[in-house]
Amino acid sequence: MQADDIGFGLFELAAMFDWVLADGFIAQLSSAAFWAAVGKIMVANIVLSGDNAVVIALACHNLPDKYRRRAIFLGSLGAIVLRIAFCAVIGLLLGVPYLKLVGGLLLLWIGIKLVSEEEGEGDIKAHASLWAAISTIIIADAVMSLDNAIAIAAAAKGNFTLIVTGLLISIPIIMMGATLISKALDRLPWLALVGAGLIGWIAGEVIAGDGRTDQVDAAGKLVEVVKPGSLAAWLDATIPHAEMVCAALGTGLVIVIGIVLARRNGKQAEKA
């Protein structure tokens, strides 16, 4: 991590707290333009949160009803808090080497775990523990929220009042989406395999994007930048359509390994 990355990240972290104490904070809340911008952030966050809603639903849908709602709320809240934190320290995070590679591998593990537990649910209750479900959600959200945070920060033009207000208001909408998906999983269990495959696809994209970032240019637009010598640069030079290939490979790995593990666990349970 370079010194300028650290300095930029610390500057952003300080800015997150400055907005709370700023003299114009109350004035912003009474501005029509402010709420129009909040709506823009909400729409961006809702569009970007579809993947998060799938993870939340997959992790929670086998919980008892009294725990399911609590897990969905805490998982949705955790996703928003992480996104706010990432928006604050995005400069620091972008300087961490192999961050996306590690995150993508974690996401692959989560997808495989969800498939193996879902396919073997006759013997294994997926996330019987409330906190096990929430921890799965938080880890997956941490991986998936990095790129989303860049887009949200760009849409807000660095205004943390906008970021925090827009993201917090989005919580009920994300909860509603996760609840609807969870109910669909109750009626159509095979959708769990599709959802886990989507997690594998995202994991492959994250891994292929290690060293590839979206940055805001002088005009305020997002521009893709690939760091020389990074994994993304090597994959782009070696494999045609590398991101799509890695995404498809991630989907296949999650489904195949997950089903194999589920069957192995089932046989072990029968012997026991």
Question: In angstroms, rounded to a whole number, what is the distance separating the alpha carbons of residues 169 and 251?
Answer: 32
Quote the pLDDT of residue 114. 82
Give how far the C-alpha of residue 190 lies from the chain's centroid of Cα atoms, to the nearest Å.
Answer: 23
Chain centroid offset of residue 54 CA? 10
Q: Give pLDDT, residue 2.
A: 53
Amino acid sitting at position 240 = P
Please, which residues have CB within 8 angstroms of residue 270's CB and are 6 or more apart in sequence?
none
Contact by Cβ (8 Å): 234, 228: no
Residues in the chain: 272
Distance CA(255)–CA(228), nearest Å, equals 33
What pLDDT does 248 receive?
96
Q: What is the pLDDT of residues 133-146, one digit of tens each?
A: 888 888 887 787 77
Q: What's the Cα-to-Cα distance from 229 to each of 128, 210, 211, 237, 246, rounded to whole Å?
A: 44, 11, 8, 11, 18
Low-confidence stretches of the chain (pLDDT < 70) are: 1-34, 45, 47-48, 90-91, 94-95, 118-128, 147, 150-151, 154-158, 215-222, 268-272
Supply the pLDDT for residue 64: 80
Enter the tokens of residue 68.
């399911």
Side-chain half-sphere exposure of 176, counting CA atoms within 13 A:
6
- Token pair of 212 as six digits: 């590839």
Phi-psi bin for 17: left (phi > 0), alpha (psi -120 to 50), beta?
Answer: alpha
Whether the CB-CB separation of 155 and 163 falls below 8 Å is answered with: no
